[in-house]
Amino acid sequence: EGFLRSDRSLIQTIGRAARNLNGRAILYADRITGSMERAIGETERRREKQIAFNLEHGITPKGVFKDVADIMEGATVPGSRSKKRKGMAKAAEENARYENELRSPSEINKRIRQLEEKMYQLARDLEFEAAAQMRDEIGKLRERLLAV
């Protein structure tokens, strides 16, 4: 059956899919092998155990939603980018103040073009977190433009 098709490997793969809220593992084969039977059996056993635990403790499974900044924070060395993060927060505050001053559609369009240029430059500089913030700002401005 091969090591990638062993019951242990299948359980790991199926478990990876199960970590997603609506995750599914679809096994394609001409016939159900012994490893598949054992992996499916073990998965069912674990699922039943998890459901019983959730019911007993009143837990309802739900997805985890994090901002890009939260995800990136876990991937950096502590303290290595703290100045940069403070600068980004300050820039976001300034952007928020500036956005409130925009009144006419032409001002909003002009600001969208400015932010798009910044966003593309940030993406070229591999500053994806800041580029994502710019993208979100642009989206908010476009919504305001539709409301005007």
1 — pLDDT class (breaks 50, 70, 90): low
CA quadruple 68, 130, 138, 108: dihedral sign: positive
Q: Are 18 and 77 within one domain?
A: no
In a domain, 103, yes or no: yes
122 residue type, one letter: L
Phi-psi region of 59 (alpha: psi -120 to 50; beta: other; left: phi over 0): beta
Q: Are 75 and 49 within one domain?
A: no
Q: How many domains does the chain contain in total?
A: 2
Q: And the tokens for 108?
A: 């909003």
Tens digits of residue pLDDT in 74-86? 555 555 454 555 5
Specify the higher pLDDT residue, 84 or 63.
Answer: 63
Q: Are 26 and 45 within one domain?
A: yes
Contacts of 49 (CB under 8 A, 6+ apart): none
95 in Cβ contact with 137 (< 8 Å):
yes
CA distance 22 to 55: 18
Specify the higher pLDDT residue, 121 or 65.
Answer: 121
Phi-psi region of 102 (alpha: psi -120 to 50; beta: other; left: phi over 0): beta
Q: What average pLDDT score do residues 91-117 get?
A: 75
52 — pLDDT class (breaks 50, 70, 90): very high
Q: Are 75 and 109 within one domain?
A: yes
Q: Are 114 and 135 within one domain?
A: yes
CA distance 54 to 61: 8
In a domain, 125, yes or no: yes
55 — pLDDT class (breaks 50, 70, 90): very high
Q: Are 139 and 96 within one domain?
A: yes
In a domain, 62, yes or no: no
Q: Are 41 and 82 within one domain?
A: no
Q: Are 46 and 11 within one domain?
A: yes
96 — pLDDT class (breaks 50, 70, 90): low
* pLDDT for position 126: 87
Domain of 134 in residue numbering reads as 68-147
